[in-house]
A and B are shown apart, each in its own frame.
Chain A
Amino acid sequence: MQDFLPAAFFELSPAEWTAIRLSLRIATVATLVSLPFGIVTAYALARCQFPGKTLVNGVVHLPLVLPPVVTGFVLLMLLGRKGVFGPSLAQIGIVFSFRWTGAAVACAVMGFPLMVRAMRLSFEAIDRRLDMASQTLGANRIWTFLLVNLPLAAPGIIVGAILAFAKALGEFGATITFVSNIPGETQTISAAIYSYTQVPGGDESAMRLTIVAVIIAFSALVASEIIQWRAQKRLGRAE
């Protein structure tokens, strides 16, 4: 046992730490930035009728069904240095290509459908008559959203955010296509694992990062279960 797994196995190298820190940073930024958009989109899809709703729904869910490489390539064409919006964004100082911010954009786009789905379900589960009650008590739509819908959907919103966060940690295809695989800038855990498996003697590093990835993903899932369970108990729906 001692020979097979030396104690040093559990020590992460600086390069591995960099990949983990970068992954966490990218996933956190991707989740937090997409959160308000996710909430508004989910609420609009759950509660509002507007022209083009089916189209919006389709576009939101597209990254879920497209090959990630295709999503990455579309991002490259839209936001890349020579993309449709890239040059104008560069003029106001926003550059995504080969930057960690670009990786965050790719992760946000890939995680968005998961986030919206969870949130939409929890908005839809709210009894519409609570909206009516709130409005007859004098709260307009915005106050009703803030005081009734948002707190009641909070468990779903948190679960959606956790799902998007976990998805961002594991995102590979879109990120590597859009912003490549640059250690210290765009090399996330997944990309690092891929790189390590491509070099001789990289298996140990790959294994360590795999364990880290499993721990983070598993914690996220457990956290989302606990949040849902507690919310249901608080609202008296626990079985």
Chain B
Amino acid sequence: MIEVDVRLKLGSFSLDVAFANGAGVTALFGHSGSGKSLTLGIIAGLTKPDAGYVRLDGEALVDVARNIFVPVSRRRVGLVFQDSNLFPHLSVKQNLLFGRWFAPRGERRIEFDAVVETLGIGDLISRSPTLLSGGERQRVAIGRALLSCPRLLLLDEPLAALDMKRKLEILPLIERVRDEFDVPIVYVSHAVEEVARLASRVVVIDGGRVKFVGDPADAFNRLANSPAMNRFDRSSVLTGSIVEASAPYGLTKLTHPSGTIWIEGLAGQPGGVARVIVNATDVVLSLLPPHEISARSVLWGRVANIQFEGPIATIEIELKEDGPLLATITRGALEDLSLKEGSHVYALFKTAALDERSIGVANA
């Protein structure tokens, strides 16, 4: 259980952030300069707040009112930076074991072999970190933090410095870390896909203030409605249950209370849950049940809200038991279909438009 309630003034910037979460991944989400990394620094002990407290499992790491400040080295929080910051004078193995040596003997519960296996870094351990690629370095950095057997793992935009291919390699590894090692994680990011995929709770921070705390679907659906979002950034998070993996085609079928979603790949087990991020620009609307059309994911819902932006309209479609689905279409199409608030529509999207980044799976 992590509880944060801190205030800090730095020049003209003021931070006032409070949230709490139990196990799983808490995402601090916001633009750069929003104060999310600063919050992480306060949790880690690299920055002292002016007021407030950070508590981990009830124990104060910092509590200004009670004059408590546990030094960084005694907090036992693993921190992974954007650029991995491995020790260049040590081998990968020595880097991995660095923190383990300082962990109290009785609390070295995370095993070296398990971490190496999970992160797939077995072939790297005798190498020098200076000879690793960016993705390899980041995997070692995550392993190093894990092996210090931390009570809390802090990830500060761990994928931001990597290209798309590497991101897609590491994202599932972070999911495995989340599921296999029982360490709560605070994950700082400004990437919707990462957060939607990993987090069980999202804290949206803007201008040093918490704008929203809740589950990812709510957070992003709310964000998507904010006028500041570009239409290409608008997306909705849908949650479906896995029905079957259709092996011959390499697809997985999800049921959603409002319809059916097909995703690429054989993901998860039947009964599990998958979260899908759908870009508003990828959604097509139809008044009739679609047939003889290639788009296979179809959901039926009610138009709840229409917003205009020049010739473009963003339509919020209310679905059963899930957050709304956003669709951007042209004004012309809107008038041809005579859509109004309250109309019922079929929303279609292409399975091929959902890339790996936008699909997260949790087994039941």
Contact = CB atoms under 8 A, between A and B. Distances in A.
Interface of A: 127, 129-130, 132-141, 143-144, 147-148, 151-152, 234-236
Contacts of B154: 136
B52 interface: no
B128 A136 contact: no
B46 interface: yes
B253 interface: no
Interface stretch (B8-16, B95-103, B215-223, B266-274): B95-103
8 nearest interchain CB pairs? A138-B102, A236-B130, A137-B99, A135-B72, A136-B79, A140-B73, A133-B85, A135-B73
The winner among A129, A137, A141, A144 for most chain B CB atoms within 10 A is A137
A162 B83 CA distance: 34
Q: SS class of chain A's interface: helix, strand, loop or mixed? A: helix
B120 to A, nearest CB: 22
B228 interface: no
Interface in B127-184: 128, 130-131, 144-145, 148, 154
B87 interface: yes
Contacts of B86: 133
B87 A130 contact: yes
17 contacts: A129-B83, A130-B87, A132-B44, A136-B44, A136-B46, A136-B72, A136-B99, A137-B78, A137-B99, A137-B144, A137-B148, A138-B103, A139-B99, A143-B102, A148-B87, A152-B89, A235-B89
Contacts of B46: 132, 136
B79 A236 contact: no
A134 B130 contact: no
A133 B88 contact: no
B145 A137 contact: yes
The winner among B78, B86, B89, B99 for most chain A CB atoms within 10 A is B89
Nearest to B94: A147
Given A135-B73, A236-B131, A129 B102 contact: no
Contacts of B76: 138
Contact of A130 (B73, B74, B79, B85): B85
Nearest to B78: A136
Given A133-B85, A134-B87, A139-B73, 9 more contacts: A132-B44, A133-B87, A135-B71, A135-B72, A138-B73, A138-B99, A139-B98, A141-B73, A148-B87
A133 B86 CA distance: 8
A232 to B, nearest CB: 11
A146 to B, nearest CB: 12
B77 interface: yes
Contacts of A133: 79, 81, 85-87
Contacts of B144: 137
Contacts of A138: 73-74, 76, 99, 101-103, 148
The winner among B72, B86, B128 for most chain A CB atoms within 10 A is B72
Contacts of A234: 89, 128
A147 B87 CA distance: 10
Contacts of A152: 87-89
Nearest to B89: A151
Contact of A129 (B72, B74, B85): B85
A138 B45 CA distance: 12
Nearest to B82: A129
Interface string B292-315: 000000000000000000000000
Given A235-B130, A236-B130, A137 B102 contact: yes
A120 to B, nearest CB: 19
Interface string B57-78: 0000000000000011111111
Nearest to A235: B88
Contacts of A130: 85, 87
Nearest to A141: B73
B124 to A, nearest CB: 15
A233 to B, nearest CB: 10
Interface in B233-271: none
Nearest to B131: A236
Contacts of A148: 87
Given A140-B71, A140-B73, A151-B89, A132 B79 contact: yes
Interface string B11-49: 000000000000000000000000000000000111000
